[in-house]
């Protein structure tokens, strides 16, 4: 699982600060999460192949999270893309994209499939054999979702000595890997856990931006390997955070602690602060394993 | 008159190639012409004060000419702008901007005044004491206008010796500067041209992008000081130019020659070519005074 931060600053793009966009590589997927203005240039800079992006997840329709979307869609068209593109985002996203295509009289040759979100409950929005994606309903000034990306439980590993000793026929190995009990050549039931071990632990990533402090997301993101939680402000500006429905670094850490996540990533920083390290320090007073995102940074988990 | 090129490449923004946007400084105005994605970052890079921009002219609604507009409007809002902002552009521009404000529930505190264009004849769209702006109807795949920015004739200069000799009362100097004949202390009519000289020659700038070769614009841009004319292609790709309704460098030069302009600026280059100098060479076979625009370049006239 690899995460590339294309942009992690709030409000407006600047020469050295890009607004929110991330690429999550998980189980052969390249998921693009949010798409602030200039994301297509950031993708080029980081040499991410446009054609590998098949799913784009937009948290909400504030400009710093989606003003780059229509440009990216348009560039895909100019590059004669043929691969389907799925867009997941709040209701309205289809209208605003198609209006711009209509005004430009520029329709995509590839299939553009919108999955508009309206629910305020967590729901599965993507699923294949290996990965599942769920929404994380957040609480911001407008309708906003975070996204939970989760690998499915992998196959169990055979304890080959135990299997042979139990005289299980080769034909049943697959069932064992899938977690079932089987019957051996002598008709005895072989309990799965006696001949297999847990497979590779599935990884998971939760993206939570933008939101005010919201404890009710804890059950949804419980035990995720990595949590990105916005921390627009420091605790000293808690009142501005509350007013604008954003979080402080301390609040992000509190959510991480309650959800017992592996690693907490901070981001969506207000540019009013001189040093990002203050965010890390503040969060680490509550939760130990904290990392700072920054534009261009990659994380492998 | 100063022109700053924020972007001059066609199609899509890249790390080192910005799409169309220019700032024209003329008679204390800062006119923003077109606004491709990333224009707000380019404005910051070139230290152009956001508040001095009060008029934005959008030629057409292809993404490489206007995908940066909504982000700029939104950033003005975040910076608590209070100054009115006038947007001139094709019909539909208001709908697409206001839809995005509606979806983001983010309305400007400042006045946003749209001037939607629909005419296929040249028309005056802005005028004050010193400057006039007219549309230049172009011929592209969708409704497109160029823009002609023209200083008005300045006041005439008094020939102070002649005026005194003609015994004109001080009270009439203003009328003389405005070009009127006056009566002197003895009741004699003093012909204006006998006591004044022409003032500073008014400057003018014509922006023509995007368009196929269109001779009928020549009378509108006749004798302008500076003509920016798109040259997406070289002559060897004349067929692609015709098909996509763009111009070649040679065609741009032919328009410049017919209109007897002072200087021709080329731009809106396709990124398929290795060297911009080929555009200049080709144009100079037809018209001598050719300059290449490039991102970040400024021209003073």
pLDDT tens digits, one per residue of B170-190: 999 999 999 999 999 889 999
Residue A113 in tokens: 């499939």
Judged by CB atoms closer than 8 Å, whether chains meet at A37 and B68 is answered as yes
CA angle A160, A166, A172 (to 5 degrees): 70
A14 vs B: CB within 8 A? yes
Q: Encode chain A (301 residues) as per-residue pLDDT tens digits.
A: 999 999 999 999 999 999 999 999 999 999 999 999 999 999 999 999 999 999 999 999 999 999 999 999 999 999 999 999 999 999 999 999 999 999 999 999 999 999 999 999 999 999 999 999 999 999 999 999 999 999 998 889 999 999 999 999 999 999 999 999 999 988 999 999 999 999 888 999 999 999 999 999 999 999 999 999 999 999 999 999 999 999 999 999 999 999 999 999 999 999 999 999 999 999 999 999 999 999 999 999 9
Q: Which two tokens stand for residue A290?
A: 């904290």
State phi, psi for B191 to the nearest 5 degrees: -65, 130
CA distance A136 to A159: 38
Strand-pair partners of A134: A124, A148
In this prediction, what percent of chain A has a pLDDT beyond 70?
A: 100
Res A154: pLDDT: 85
Contacts of B98 (CB under 8 A, 6+ apart): none
Return the pLDDT at A80. Answer: 94
Cβ <8 Å between B63 and A70: yes
**What is the distance between the alpha carbons of residues A72 and A87, in angstroms, rounded to a whole number?**
12
Distance between CA atoms of residues A174 and A158, nearest Å: 10
Coil/strand/helix, residue A243: helix
Output the six-digit token pair for A16: 């050295």
List the single residue in B45, B63, B105 with the smallest CB-CB distance to A141: B105
What pLDDT sits at residue B154? 85
Q: What is the mean pLDDT of residues B268-272?
A: 95
In the prediction, which pLDDT does B185 show?
Answer: 86
Look at residues A119, A130, A7 and name the one whose alpha carbon lies nearest to residue A68.
Answer: A7
- Percent of chain B at pLDDT > 90 equals 96
What distance in Å separates the CA atoms of residue B216 and residue B231, rounded to the nearest whole number? 17
Which chain A residues are closer than 8 Å to B106 by Cβ?
A: 62-63
CA-based max dimension of chain A: 73
CA–chain centroid gap for B287, Å, is: 21
Q: Please give the pLDDT value at position B246.
A: 98
Round to whole Å and give the CA distance between B234 and A99: 33
Nearest-by-CA chain B residue for A36: B71
Shortest CA gap B103–chain A (Å): 6
Q: Cβ B40–A12 below 8 Å, yes or no?
A: yes
CA pair distance A82, A112, nearest whole angstrom: 10
**What is the per-residue pLDDT for A158?**
94
For residues B19 and B34, give the distance between their C-alpha atoms in angstroms, rounded to a whole number: 9
Q: Say if the Cβ atoms of A12 and B38 lie within 8 Å.
A: no
CB-based contact A15 B99, cutoff 8 Å: no
The pair of three-digit structure tokens given for residue B141, joined into one six-digit string:
């795949």
Residue B221 DSSP one-character state? H
pLDDT band for B200, please (50, 70, 90 cuts): confident
Q: Are A230 and A208 in contact (CB under 8 A)?
A: yes
Grouping H, G, I as helix, E, B as strand and the rest as coil, residue A300 is strand
Cross-strand bridge partners of residue A9: A19, A269
pLDDT (0 to 100) of residue A130: 93
> Which residues make beta-bridge pairs with A264?
A227, A290
Q: Active site residue: B34, B64, B210, B295, which one?
A: B64
CB–CB of A162/A195 below 8 Å?
yes
Q: Which two tokens stand for residue B132?
A: 């006039």
> Measured between CB atoms, does A272 come within 8 Å of chain B?
no
Looking at the complex, does the CB of residue A258 fall below 8 Å from at least one CB of chain B? no
Tell whether B272 is within 8 A of chain A (Cβ). no
Cross-chain Cβ contact A71/B12 below 8 Å = yes
Inform me whether the C-beta atom of residue A158 falls under 8 Å from chain B C-beta atoms: no
Q: Is A67 on the interface with B (CB under 8 A)?
A: yes
Q: What is the mean pLDDT of residues B124-146?
A: 97
| B291/A48 Cα distance (integer angstroms) | 35
Tens of pLDDT along B108-128?
Answer: 999 999 999 999 999 999 999
Contact call for B75 and A105, based on CB within 8 A: no
Give the mutation candidate from A67, A95, A141, A240 for the B interface (greatest B CB count, under 10 A). Answer: A67
The Cα–Cα gap between B91 and A15 comes to: 32
B128 is catalytic: no
ipTM metric: 0.91
Question: In whole angstroms, what is the distance from residue B64 CA to residue A69 CA?
Answer: 13
pLDDT-based confidence at residue B300 (cuts at 50, 70, 90): very high
Cβ–Cβ < 8 Å for A149, A24? yes
Q: What is the pLDDT of residue A84?
A: 98
Residues contacting B149, CB < 8 A, separation 6+: B24, B26, B31, B131, B132, B133, B204, B205, B206, B207
- With CA atoms as reference, the chain A residue closest to B47 would be A15
Tell me the nearest-neighbour CA distance from B144 into chain A, angstroms.
11
3 state SS of A133: strand
Confidence of residue B98 (pLDDT cuts 50, 70, 90): very high
CB nearest B63 (choices: A13, A71, A93): A71
CB B21 within 8 A of CB B68: yes
Residues facing residue B253 across a β-bridge? none
Q: Is the pLDDT of residue B153 over 90?
A: no
B71 touches chain A (CB under 8 A): yes
Comparing CA positions, the residue from A110, A75, A116 lying closest to residue A96 is A116
> Does B99 contact chain A (CB < 8 Å)?
yes
Kindly state the tokens that stand for B27.
């008679």
Q: Is the pTM of this model over 0.95?
A: no
Q: How many CB atoms lie within 10 A of CB A104?
A: 23
Tokens 């269109």 locate to B214
User: What is the model's pLDDT at position A200?
Assistant: 87
Q: Is the peptide bond preceding residue B210 cis, with omega within 30 degrees of 0?
A: yes
Of A55, A2, A51, whose CA–CA distance to A26 is shortest?
A2
Neighbouring residues of B198: CB distance < 8 A, sequence distance ≥ 6: B156, B157
**And the tokens for A43?**
């993708």
Is A16's Cβ below 8 Å from some Cβ in B?
Answer: no
Interval A128-185: pLDDT, tens: 999 999 999 999 999 999 999 999 988 899 999 999 999 999 999 999 999 999 999 8
Q: What mean pLDDT is predicted for residues B94-111?
A: 97
* Shortest CA gap A244–chain B (Å): 12
Nearest to A104 among B38, B71, B142 (CB): B142
């Amino acid at each position: 699982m690899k995460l590339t931060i294309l942009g992690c600053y709030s409000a407006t793009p600047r020469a050295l600060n890009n607004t929110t966009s991330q690429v999550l590589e998980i189980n052969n997927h390249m998921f693009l999460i949010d798409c602030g203005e200039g994301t297509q240039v950031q993708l080029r800079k980081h040499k991410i192949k446009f054609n590998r992006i098949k799913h784009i997840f937009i948290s909400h329709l504030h400009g710093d999270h989606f003003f780059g979307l229509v440009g990216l869609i348009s560039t895909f068209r100019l590059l004669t893309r043929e691969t389907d593109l799925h867009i997941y985002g709040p209701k309205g996203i289809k209208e605003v994209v198609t209006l711009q295509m209509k005004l430009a009289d520029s329709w995509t040759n590839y299939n553009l499939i919108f999955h508009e979100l309206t629910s305020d409950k967590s729901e599965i929005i993507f699923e294949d054999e290996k990965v599942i994606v769920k929404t994380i309903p957040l609480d911001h000034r407008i309708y906003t979702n975070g996204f939970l990306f989760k690998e499915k439980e992998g196959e169990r590993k055979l304890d080959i000595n135990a299997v042979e000793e139990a005289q299980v026929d080769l034909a049943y190995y697959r069932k064992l890997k899938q977690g079932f009990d089987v019957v051996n050549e002598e008709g005895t039931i072989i309990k799965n856990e006696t001949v297999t071990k847990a497979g590779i632990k599935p990884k998971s990533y939760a993206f939570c931006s933008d939101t005010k402090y919201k404890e009710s997301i804890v059950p949804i993101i419980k035990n995720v390997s990595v949590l990105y939680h916005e921390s627009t402000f420091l605790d000293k500006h808690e009142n501005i955070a509350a007013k604008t429905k954003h979080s402080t670094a301390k609040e992000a850490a509190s959510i991480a602690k309650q959800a017992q996540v592996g690693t907490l990533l901070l981001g969506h920083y207000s540019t009013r602060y001189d040093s990002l390290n203050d965010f890390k320090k503040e969060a680490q007073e509550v939760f130990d394993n904290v990392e700072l995102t920054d534009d261009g940074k990659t994380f492998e988990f």
